[in-house]
Amino acid sequence: MNKELVEKEGLKGVLFYPDQIKKPTAIIVLPGSDGGVAEALSEYIASHSYIVLGLGYFGEEGLPSYLENIPLEYFQKAINWLRSRFDPYSLNLLGYSRGGELALILGSLFPDIIDGIVAFVPCSAACGGFPYPNKPAWTFNNAPISPYLQGVMSSYQDLSEAEDLFLASKEGIIPYHSNSEEDPYDIVDLFMIRHKNNILEKAAIPVENISCPILIIAGEQDKIWPSGLYGKLIIDRLHQKKSTIQKELLIYPNAGHGIIAPYEGPVYHPVGKFWCRLGGTPEGNQEANKKAWKATLDFFK
């Protein structure tokens, strides 16, 4: 296994590739709202004889500090760079949470250069920035991807996710939680309020423009956002728009937002600066993790 740090052409990430490459498959791993580079996950996938680029897009030195106004051309550049480096037989995206949302947006925007998408617990719509939900997360041609899901309690641009949770909890709009390890937020409650005014349909990712196979993985007990609902909306839209691509939705009934990694209890989000639950049971998450990774590796074969 070879490992290289990627710091060229404005890109930031870590590249893993096997010594012997025959008819190679390449995968770009896109992290979620935790930012940084998903190095351990990328190395795990690469251990199955794939070329894997763990790509950072915020929260790393030389990249934006927050998930806001991220130009989608950056990912187009990364895809083209990886293709020129290895000339892979196929080039795929794997994203989780906000990275899953991103993978679907990229597939809809650049269908000619992406051969497969695996989205763990994605949203079906474009979301606002993080930790400032009233700012756009993504731009293309210097314009924001809009409309997008925004904050609940204020249209103030600098409203943070933590403030939105606190104010909504304080006002009784969502159940009260003390924002502690003992009493963390269920952020899914806030997202259910954010769905008002038909925004899920207005901000829906145009997945009908995707031309490659997709695999959507979700947890029915997701406490970050309702990934099971979002997965169904993605598949429903593909059917309504008469898409003929290969598509599969796997929803695990006792799993939460952390399917991609082993079960965790309450977690402190280092970017959002709040305590939250991921959802699911330990047994349900472990079973979903095992089955989801088998499905993912089968997808890339």
pLDDT at 245 over 70: yes
Closest CA to 257 of 234, 233, 284, 237: 284
DSSP secondary structure code for residue 126 in this structure: -
Decide if 188 is inside a domain: no
pLDDT value for 74: 98
The pTM of this model reads: 0.96
Please give the helix or strand (H or E) that residue 180 lies within, else none: none
End-to-end CA distance of the chain: 19
Decide if 246 is inside a domain: yes
If one compares 19 and 52, the residue with the highest pLDDT of the two is 52
Decide if 21 is inside a domain: yes
d(CA 186, CA 301): 36
Domain residues for the domain of 228 are: 2-157+199-264+279-300
pLDDT tens by residue, 44-97: 999 999 999 999 999 999 999 999 999 999 999 999 999 999 999 999 999 999
Q: Give one word for 121, left, alpha or beta, with left for phi > 0 and alpha for psi -120 to 50.
A: left
Which whole number is the average pLDDT over 104-120? 98
pLDDT value for 20: 82
Decide if 169 is inside a domain: no
Q: In sequence order, what are the beta bridge partners of 204?
A: 125
Are 246 and 273 a contacting pair, CB within 8 Å?
no
DSSP secondary structure code for residue 250 in this structure: E
pLDDT at 263 over 80: no
With both helix axes pointing from N to C terminus, report the angle between 98-109 and 73-86 in degrees, rounded to the nearest 10: 80
Q: What is the CATH number of the domain that holds 252?
A: 3.40.50.1820
Are 138 and 145 a contacting pair, CB within 8 Å?
yes
The number of CA neighbours under 13 Å toward the Cβ of 163 is: 15
pLDDT value for 175: 96
Which whole number is the average pLDDT over 230-244? 98
pLDDT at 143 over 70: yes
pLDDT tens by residue, 162-192: 999 999 999 999 999 999 999 999 999 999 9
Confidence of residue 9 (pLDDT cuts 50, 70, 90): confident
pLDDT value for 197: 83
DSSP secondary structure code for residue 107 in this structure: H
Decide if 193 is inside a domain: no
Decide if 137 is inside a domain: yes
Number of independent structural domains in the chain: 1
Mean pLDDT of the chain: 96
Confidence of residue 23 (pLDDT cuts 50, 70, 90): confident
Closest CA to 114 of 76, 57, 84, 73: 76
Decide if 168 is inside a domain: no
pLDDT value for 257: 96
Decide if 178 is inside a domain: no
* Cis, bond preceding 266 (omega within 30 deg of 0): no
Confidence of residue 262 (pLDDT cuts 50, 70, 90): low
Which whole number is the average pLDDT over 115-129? 98
